[in-house]
Amino acid sequence: MNILIQALLLIAVLLLLMILFFVNKYYIKTRSLMRYYENQGINNSYYFPLVGKYKRMLDSIKEHGDCMHYYKQLLTNQPDCKYTVTNLAHNVCIYFYDLELLNQLYKCSDLVKHQFGVEIFKQVMAGLVFNEGEEHSRKRKILSQAFHYQLLQNMIPQLSQIYEEFFEKIRNKRVSDCIMMGQEIVAESIVRLFFSNSFQGLKFKGKTMTEAVSGIIERVGSMAKSASYALFGKICFSFGQMASVKKDLKQIKEIYKEIITNRINSTNLEELQHKKQKDLIDYLIESKGISKIESEESITIDQIIEEFVTFQVAGLDSSGHTLGMVLYYLCIFPEKLVEEIEQTIKTPDDLNTESIKKMKYLGAFVNEVLRYYSVADQIFPRTCNKDIQIGDLIIKKGTQVNVGIIENHYNPKYFKDPHQFNPMRWLDGSLDKLNSYAFNPFSSGKHNCIGQHFAQLEIKVGIIKFLQEFDLELDQDYKFILKFSFLTEPLNPIPITFKSKKQ
């Protein structure tokens, strides 16, 4: 009996210690640091156990049908607000909105990517987006040699072909989830950006290579959103799905490696110089930017595979969602685009980078979707690796800092009537001197998106091809509600019928 009582007491003590640990970590320390910033003048402070600002997003969905409603209204209701502070799990994060403070933030060298959330993706990929310091600068310099004008020009026929292949699947049909379709298109475009048609016909466990990588990304994403990860952090990597994910990805990377190695070994540099349709691997081989041995001027085959997987993640999440949302807005506002396309693209040969540049309303439409929808409401959070000062604010080591992208996209100081979808705002001269930090869909500074020009090109080519081929009809009873699930996205899949213009 005494042994049983002692055991129960021990369990009770352990439970009490565990409760005290969590209360101290997730409430006392977090609230203490938030009060430190409140005392420095951050008036907009919001704490909620574990989920922080995401509780406010959930409330916004219930009240307004838009998870970002509060943040879209923030700078209308509080025009002098420079920053806010909130929590995520036990982490304290300051969001900056003032453009001068953003300038200081982007130039600050004492910040590193915060590991919470990021660390789970680093288990399966190690591309440029996760690199810091000299390694980031070295890789970006090498990859930038390949991301030039000629590569984008060469990609237009490839992109056209991808869209035409998908059109055969959807002609005169109703697609129940256009964001998922957008992700499929973007995933295939990234494969061809890197490797042309090298993967056609390849399968992994009965799936195409694109489907296989997409499935892995979805599995990793679900782990990152789990309650167990929020509570216990990276200890969750030791069990569950992660071992299976790593095993599958290792096998997929071996397939990629064999293909790229064969490409390098079989490439004749003299013949490559005369090749008309080059992909990113061709340009890296030509510039000696890829090799079997790493150097200051080159990256290895393994590293280019990591970049490819990272591009797949970024493309599926951001460009895929954006393409799906572009289709939604095309259902509502197609007229001026159709007119501009008919005036500019009269034959297939007219579809090139120069003609796309001339299509001013097309560029304005894409900018307005990026502003109005803002698939990413923030950048990857960064952590102060020592005490720093931004403006008058003293920020302690270990605090997260971030950029409030969507808040400035809806800031009436920069965008008149920001809650109206109005592409003409980009053509009426009112935004000619717009500060780049006020419109920031691809981030800024040395960590901005290296693939942003390609992302915009594939969306613009998509708009042209869709409107040349189809009349788009959104289901009449569709209700547009925005939720947050890593990214801002519709709660209900977007259903569109694609009626062929060619009878």
Does residue 13 fall inside a structural domain?
A: no
Can you read off the two tokens belonging to residue 109?
């060298």
Residue 449 identity (one-letter amino acid): C
Q: How many CA atoms are closer than 13 Å to the CA of 207, on its beta-carbon side?
A: 11
pLDDT at residue 442 in the model: 82
User: Does 331 count as an annotated binding residue?
Assistant: no
pLDDT at residue 136 in the model: 77
Does residue 66 fall inside a structural domain?
A: yes
Does residue 31 fall inside a structural domain?
A: no
Does residue 474 fall inside a structural domain?
A: yes
Does residue 35 fall inside a structural domain?
A: no
3-state secondary structure of 380: coil
Does residue 389 fall inside a structural domain?
A: yes
pLDDT at residue 188 in the model: 86
**3-state SS track over 444-475:** CHHHCCCCHHHHHHHHHHHHHHHHHHEEEEEC
Residue 80 identity (one-letter amino acid): D
Number of domains in the chain: 1
Chunked in runs of 10, what are the mean pLDDT values of the chain (503 residues)?
Answer: 80 89 90 96 92 90 94 95 93 95 91 69 71 79 76 88 93 94 88 75 80 77 69 66 81 85 82 80 77 70 82 78 92 90 92 94 96 80 92 95 94 96 94 92 79 90 95 94 83 95 78
pLDDT at residue 231 in the model: 66
At 200, which CATH number? Answer: 1.10.630.10
Q: Which domain holds residue 85?
A: 40-500
Does residue 28 fall inside a structural domain?
A: no
Where does residue 108 rank: exposed (0-12), middle (13-18), buried (19+ CB within 10 A)? middle
Query: Residues 310, 121: contact at Cβ < 8 Å?
Result: no
Does residue 3 fall inside a structural domain?
A: no
